[in-house]
Chain A
Amino acid sequence: MIELKGVTKTFGSTIALDNVSINIPEGKIIGILGPNGSGKSTLLKMLVGLNKPNHGNIFINGQQIGVQTKSFISYLPEIDYLYPWMTIQQAADFVKSFYEDWDENKYKELVEFLELQPSMVIKKVSKGMRAKAKLLLSFSRNAKLILLDEPLSGIDILTRDKIIETIIRDYRAGDQSILITTHEVREVEGILDEVIFIRRGQIALEGNVEELRYQRQASLVEIMKEVYTHETI
């Protein structure tokens, strides 16, 4: 579904992605793991057109990145990216006008589930609430591809649980794809189908999570430690 062919991305002298070629399958929840600066956020940004590769090509469902592909992707960056002066309702009205896949019922349900008020002004609420607001807007759609960049960082434990629950609750396995980048491996272990470990811009390890557990009799956390402390797997 997502195809990277020889993708290289540099920022000045830093190599974020180094000749990466990979096929990311459809219909799974995939974790893109690695320490800070390993290139994971860059990968996500490139999928939604916020960055362009220096070399190589990216295809989503066979199409080039553009207005067409953006229409079925829901991107949740790590930073606060909503208009601070808007209320949650205003933000929802804004976003909804751009997407065919907006689901008003889902929105109403999620507002309750996440314990938010549509009248809340984004710049006036706590960080945890803002994270939930971002999530609300992303998941009120039936997007084919959801990109979550560090969805749990800086969030308190209770809100994290809510976020994980939100991710699972309406997930359409086999039809929808979710890409999650995080360095909080422990938190997302339970929900990942596949994992891709990025180390210094290259893919260090990838595979089906349950199989990796079975083969190595280890959790992802343990596997990750292994991947990043030894140079060879």
Chain B
Amino acid sequence: MKPSNGNTLFSLYKKDLLSVKFESLMILATIFLGHLYFSYKILTGWPEPTILGVTSTIFFIVMFVIFIGTFTSVSREWSNNTIYLVMSLPVSGKKIFLSKLLAVMTQLVILGGASILVGSLLSSYFLGADIIAQVFGFFSTHQLLKVLVMGIILLFFGIIQIILVAFFSTMVGRAFKKFSWLITFFTFIFTNIFIGKINEFLLKALIAPVDRHLSIIGSTNFDGQFLVESGLTTQFFLLQLTIILLISTGLFFLTAMIYDKKIEL
């Protein structure tokens, strides 16, 4: 029975997920316990709005920890010596990194989602459910829903890009016998800077000056709410998304190529 592409990818994905089972459960526990602890604090005196700060902080910590896990997802194969198994398998680097990408994304979605869920529930409890309705109404009446969706899409693919930069950096690091971590670190930083520059260059070159910037005009009206207007046009969105996708794809193939051709044990 010839192993199908789907089969092998799923096997790798399952393995990559199970590898982080323990850490993920720890993060999940932290999400619940963290929210629980601060809820207790709020119930015993802290002002209600702090729930928003607490939720956001916990969320970003979770995102950050998972992001660090991107690096360990690769380095762990070396420290466990399982890289000997992986490299001797009849699979290309593309599948290996696709699997790892999917595993990290799964973590982000599930754990990030859990954080957002718990956070939203507690926020609506402490701040009243109508606040959520108000916020939602606010967004839909001001054409901001479209902006929000486009922003989320860009954020989503932006996260994928960062993960791919992380994978790329680990492969560059591993291509050298010494100072792997240092090289990974600097490659990560410089690649991001480099991508930023390319991004800027392409945007400047391809968008007419008038729509060049994402302009956010914030102004307060008389009852203290922020009015957010943006100059974010669909054209900008599509262009930025294309750039992100192209860079991501390039990084992905480059990473797989380094693995296939340059990595030695």
Interface residue from A73, A79, A98, A100 paired with B84 (Cβ < 8 Å): A79
Q: Flag if A85 contacts B11 (CB, 8 Å).
A: no
Q: Is B143 an interface residue (CB 8 A)?
A: no
Which of B51-59, B87-95, B186-194, B225-233 faces chain A?
B87-95
Q: Which of B1-42 contact A (CB under 8 A)?
A: 1-3, 7-8, 10-11, 14-15, 18-19
The answer, among B1, B15, B88, for a CB contact under 8 Å with A48, is: B88
Asked whether A49 and B87 contact (CB < 8 A) given A83-B15, A97-B11, the answer is yes
Inter-chain contact total with CB atoms closer than 8 Å:
66
Residues B1 and A51 in contact, CB atoms below 8 Å apart: no
* Interface residues in A104-155 (C-beta closer than 8 Å to B): none
* Max count, chain A CB within 10 A of own CB: residue among B88, B261, B265: B88
- Is B82 located at the chain interface by the 8 A CB criterion? yes
- CB within 8 Å for A81 and B82 given contacts A49-B87, A50-B264: yes
A82 and B88 form a contact (CB under 8 A): no
Interface residues of A in 31-60 (CB under 8 A from B): 45, 48-52
Smallest beta-carbon distance B156→chain A, Å: 30
What is the distance, in angstroms, from A10's C-beta to the closest C-beta of chain B?
12
- Give the chain B neighbours of A80 by CB distance below 8 A: 81
Q: Is B210 an interface residue (CB 8 A)?
A: no
Let me know if B85 is at the binding interface, CB within 8 A: yes
Q: Which residues of A contact B235 (CB under 8 A)?
A: none
* Interface size, A (range): 20 to 34
**Interface residues in B, total, Cβ within 8 A:** 26
Please tell me if B221 contacts chain A, counting CB pairs below 8 Å. no
Whether B91 lies near A99 (C-beta < 8 A) is no
Q: How far is the CB of A85 from chain B (nearest CB, A)?
A: 7
* Residues of B close to A233: CB separation below 8 A: none
Q: Does B141 reach chain A (CB closer than 8 Å)?
A: no
Residue A84 CB within 8 A of the other chain = yes
Bound form: Cα–Cα A77–B2 in Å: 25
Q: Does A70 contact B (CB under 8 A)?
A: yes
Q: Which residues of A contact B87 (CB under 8 A)?
A: 48-50
Query: A79 vs B88: C-alpha distance in the bound complex, in angstroms?
Result: 14
Question: Once bound together, how far apart are the Cα atoms of A84 and B80, in whole Å?
Answer: 8
B84 touching A94, Cβ below 8 Å? no
User: Provided the pairs A52-B264, A79-B81, A81-B84 are in contact, do residues A94 and B90 lie with their beta carbons within 8 angstroms?
Assistant: no
Known: A49-B88, A98-B91. A83 touches B19 (CB 8 A): yes
- Enumerate the 7 nearest inter-chain pairs by beta-carbon distance, A residue then B residue, closest first: A71-B90, A81-B84, A70-B90, A97-B11, A75-B88, A50-B265, A81-B85
Other A-B contacts than A73-B88, A75-B84, A83-B15, 20 sampled, CB-CB below 8 A, are: A49-B88, A50-B264, A50-B265, A52-B261, A71-B90, A79-B84, A80-B81, A81-B81, A81-B82, A81-B83, A81-B84, A93-B11, A94-B11, A94-B15, A98-B3, A98-B8, A98-B89, A99-B3, A99-B90, A100-B2
Ordered by A's residue number, 18 sampled pairs between the chains whose C-beta atoms are within 8 Å are A50-B265, A51-B265, A70-B88, A73-B88, A75-B84, A77-B84, A81-B84, A81-B85, A83-B19, A85-B19, A86-B18, A94-B11, A97-B3, A97-B8, A97-B10, A98-B3, A98-B91, A100-B3
